[in-house]
Amino acid sequence: KAGVTQTPRYLIKTRGQQVTLSCSPISGHRSVSWYQQTPGQGLQFLFEYFSETQRNKGNFPGRFSGRQFSNSRSEMNVSTLELGDSALYLCASSWRGSDYGYTFGSGTRLTVV
Amino acid sequence: GENVEQHPSTLSVQEGDSAVIKCTYSDSASNYFPWYKQELGKRPQLIIDIRSNVGEKKDQRIAVTLNKTAKHFSLHITETQPEDSAVYFCAASIRRSPMGGTASKLTFGTGTRLQVTL
């Protein structure tokens, strides 16, 4: 079966712009979580969605937001980009939640210049 | 919130030797502990996991042990091979059921870079 698909793979944006990242989970998976990966901070939890509802949120500013659609696809939006937002953004899906095992997508590499 | 500490940050072993990576967690409500392997430029992949009602689990050359009392768990890789070289992340999951819904979150350790030399 198809894995977790993230688009785009690479993105270059300018400070102050906004960006939207997309994630299509494995078919049948209803839980989608987003993580930010940087060399210095490792994998930091952004938020989790389940059946179109945000169930949990990490310690990121309000510039980071997301949503989930009825087909479980999820989008993440970052507004007013800062240089420090440059990172690999990973999406992971699970049947029901974090304690059922996550499958990660290949990520979107965001560079803010 | 949950805090997961992972040691060592780097580990170099010779091919054929064993490697051990240790993690501790802070929240006794954590009930699921997966390990991920991330090769350079690739996505993290789940290699083994253990639930809080189990003390040990094995899958060929890898094994994970869990000590709930001490709140620590470890990854053991035996007979290491060059293709085991990667960054390994431990994680702990809490699944709570507050009124009106269920919240789950996977908290990761900071990673261990394993290098298997010939």
The pLDDT profile of chain B, 118 residues, written as one tens digit per residue, is 789 999 999 999 999 999 999 999 999 989 899 999 999 999 999 999 999 888 999 999 999 999 999 999 999 999 999 999 999 999 998 776 655 456 678 999 999 999 999 9
CA dihedral defined by B34, B40, B41, B44, rounded to 10 degrees?
A: 0
Structure tokens at A80: 């007013």
Residue B117 class from Cβ within 10 Å (0-12 exposed, 13-18 middle, 19+ buried)? exposed
From A50, A100, A106, residue closest to B43, measured CB to CB: A106
CB B97: neighbour CB atoms within 10 A? 9
* Nearest CA distance, A36 vs chain B (angstrom): 11
pLDDT-derived band at A18 (thresholds 50, 70, 90) equals: very high
Contact B46 A103 (CB under 8 A): yes
| Cis peptide bond N-terminal to A39, omega within 30 | no
Would you state the pLDDT for residue B96?
Answer: 65
Tokens of A78: 């970052």
pLDDT digits (tens, 9 = 90+) for A43-94: 999 999 999 999 889 999 999 999 999 999 999 999 999 999 999 999 999 9
Instruction: Determine, for residues A42 and B108 on separate chains, whether the beta-carbon distance falls below 8 Å.
Output: yes
User: What gap in Å lies between CA A31 and CA A51, rounded to an integer?
Assistant: 7
Say yes or no: B3 contacts chain A, CB-CB below 8 A: no
pLDDT at A100: 78
What pLDDT sits at residue B100?
Answer: 44
Residue A85, Cβ neighbours under 10 Å: how many?
21
Taking the CA of residue B17 and the nearest CA in chain A, the distance in Å comes to 27
The alpha carbon of residue A43 is apart from the nearest alpha carbon of chain B, in Å, by 6
* Contacts B34 to A, Cβ<8 Å: 101-102
Sequence-ordered list of residues with C-beta below 8 angstroms from that of B62, at least 6 positions apart, any chain? B35, B47, B48, B75, B76, B77, B78
